[in-house]
Amino acid sequence: MAAESKPSESQPPPHPLRPLTDDELVRARDIVVEKHGGDGVVLFFRSIYVDEPKKEDLVQFLIAEHAGQAPPASFPRQVKVLFDRVKDGVPQLTEDVVDVGAGEVRRSKAFPPYCQTSYTAVEFGVFHDICVSSEMFQTAMQEFTLPEGFVVTIDPWPYGGLDSDEDVPRYMQGLVYARNAVNDNPDANHYGYPLPIIPVMDFVTKKLIRVDRLATGGKGDSLYPSTPTDKPKKLFEHGKSAEYVPELLDRPLRTDLKPIDITQPEGASFKVHSDNLVEWQKWRFRLGFTPREGAVLHDVCYDGRPVLYRLSFSEMTVPYGDPRPPFQRKQAFDFGDGGMGRAANNLKLGCDCLGAIHYLSSVVTNAEGKPDVAQNVVCLHEQDNGVGWKHTNFRTNRAVVTRLREFVIQFIATLANYEYVFAYKLDTAGGISIETRATGIVSVVPIDEGKVSDYGNVVFPGVLAQNHQHIFA
């Protein structure tokens, strides 16, 4: 995944599953600009990544590769480019497949003006700024008074479909919070202070279309919001803080946990070869990374035997168990809407991983189609997982034990309040495990202080964490 030099004529062609180099990304971008740019058109780039060959073709290549034979065919380096072609302020979502060797666009697909797409971090900022500066939102905010020094902070959320058969516009909704800015700490936790409104923006016209008000009652109360009162309602008067960054905590972190040092004095037992080929014990695979899925394991073989053609997490959805409108549309699809690869964390030794770690970075695109390095988005390491196999002969009391060694391919993504920790684990017993951990901060909405609800748990004064499930595919 790390950037490589441009292959010269004498080098073998890159493996078809090798992630993009910086050069390939730039070339693909330039070819798209050449074709679609000019005439007042602005291109807004969403993602640029390898267009994997069809399985039926690639399998033949892999069979030859495993046998050490010449491949039956070569594959052109094809790149998938997803972008908005914006003319007169109207975006048209477009997907091109570019042959960077031939310098040509092989396929181009333009989607209808109103259609869904995944969002980028840039758009989250755009959404936030349009909301807070809009008259409609400012009017809605007049219903409330925030404590001195609190500022509005909006988390973008996918909007999903309409409740009718109409064409589905490209809308985004926002969960509105206040952040205590008294200490001027940008990491003060706004999730402790949810507000009972949800703005909805049209991402084509870039205009707010309405601001939904939320019901804030408890058990037995109305499913619908109450009408506004004459004078603004004072929020968050309890004066309590719900912080998580160490410097804002009102009690110290624990200090009595003695360190556990995990080291591999002779180094790690795995090897990362060129073109992202990884070998560990009897396992080998190629490591890919896509904006949507994060880490992908291609061509997973055990002891020379192909086991999996392609292994990835493909989607995760979170339905919320709160029937009060507009929460029927609070259901994220975080791979498709947000992109786990796009949202991948930059991992750090000692925090996300212990021991002898090998990190891999990825090349992603910014809105202009230029390459950015996504530093350390995947970590590879070995770990001990206890007794793998044991037998004691009860007649002689002689025990034979083997440990279970695991090879872990881990990445972590942040989607607003949530963190997901994904791991593929290959082990010395020939097993593959996949693990997901959901962490971060629960998604919350306001509830009148002192009330309880059937639709979630009160986790802080006036804060309801709604019932929900994380369903991974």
List the structure tokens of 93: 């979502």
**Residue of 49, 171, 418, 420 with catalytic role:** 418
- Nearest one of 425, 339, 327, 446 to 383, comparing CA atoms: 425
Closer residue to a copy of itself (CB): 92 or 417: 417
**399 in contact with a copy of itself (CB under 8 A):** yes
* Cβ partners under 8 Å of residue 469, min gap 6: 318, 319, 321
The only residue of 60, 226, 328, 346 in contact with a copy of itself, by rule CB under 8 A: 346
Rounded CA separation 24/6 (Å): 8
Rounded CA separation 91/205 (Å): 9
The only residue of 240, 389, 454, 469 in contact with a copy of itself, by rule CB under 8 A: 389
**264 in contact with a copy of itself (CB under 8 A):** yes
**245 in contact with a copy of itself (CB under 8 A):** yes
The only residue of 57, 187, 237, 303 in contact with a copy of itself, by rule CB under 8 A: 187
Rounded CA separation 84/94 (Å): 6
**269 in contact with a copy of itself (CB under 8 A):** yes
- Nearest one of 218, 375, 358 to 276, comparing CA atoms: 358
The only residue of 68, 186, 220, 252 in contact with a copy of itself, by rule CB under 8 A: 186
* Cβ partners under 8 Å of residue 130, min gap 6: 201, 206, 207, 208
The only residue of 7, 306, 336, 355 in contact with a copy of itself, by rule CB under 8 A: 355
**184 in contact with a copy of itself (CB under 8 A):** no
Burial of 38 (0-12, 13-18, 19+ CB in 10 A): exposed
Secondary structure of residue 42 in the 3-state scheme: strand
**403 in contact with a copy of itself (CB under 8 A):** yes
Told to judge if 427 belongs to the known catalytic residues of this protein, a careful annotator would answer no
Give the per-residue contact string, 143-162, with a copy of itself (x = CB under 8 A; - = no).
--------------------
With CB under 8 A, what is the number of residues at the site for a copy of itself? Answer: 64
The pairing of strands 371-393 and 358-365 is: antiparallel
Told to judge if 334 belongs to the known catalytic residues of this protein, a careful annotator would answer yes
**166 in contact with a copy of itself (CB under 8 A):** no
194 strand-pairing partners = 177
- Nearest one of 298, 329, 299, 292 to 314, comparing CA atoms: 292
Give the per-residue contact string, 442-471, with a copy of itself (x = CB under 8 A; - = no).
------------------------------
Applying CB under 8 A, the span of 7-15, 320-328, 421-429, 461-469 interacting with a copy of itself comes to: 421-429
**140 in contact with a copy of itself (CB under 8 A):** no
438 strand-pairing partners = 420
**387 in contact with a copy of itself (CB under 8 A):** yes
Backbone angles phi, psi at 384, to 5 degrees: -90, 130
**258 in contact with a copy of itself (CB under 8 A):** yes
Closer residue to a copy of itself (CB): 304 or 450: 304
Rounded CA separation 27/103 (Å): 8
The pairing of strands 432-440 and 444-446 is: unpaired
Rounded CA separation 13/11 (Å): 6
**382 in contact with a copy of itself (CB under 8 A):** yes
Applying CB under 8 A, the span of 18-26, 140-148, 228-236, 264-272 interacting with a copy of itself comes to: 264-272
User: Least separation, in Å, of the C-beta of 413 and a copy of itself?
Assistant: 9
Q: Please compute, for residue 325, the number of CA atoms within 13 A of its CA located in the half-sphere on the CB side.
A: 8
List the structure tokens of 319: 């339905």
List the structure tokens of 374: 């996504």
The only residue of 231, 261, 304, 450 in contact with a copy of itself, by rule CB under 8 A: 261
DSSP 8-state secondary structure symbol assigned to residue 335: I
Rounded CA separation 360/358 (Å): 7
User: Least separation, in Å, of the C-beta of 395 and a copy of itself?
Assistant: 7
Provide the binding-site residues for a copy of itself, judged by CB under 8 A: 121, 124, 186-187, 244-246, 254, 256-269, 281, 343, 345-346, 348, 351-352, 354-355, 382-384, 386-401, 403, 405, 412, 414, 416-417, 419, 421, 423, 428, 437, 439-441
Residues annotated as part of the active site: 334, 418
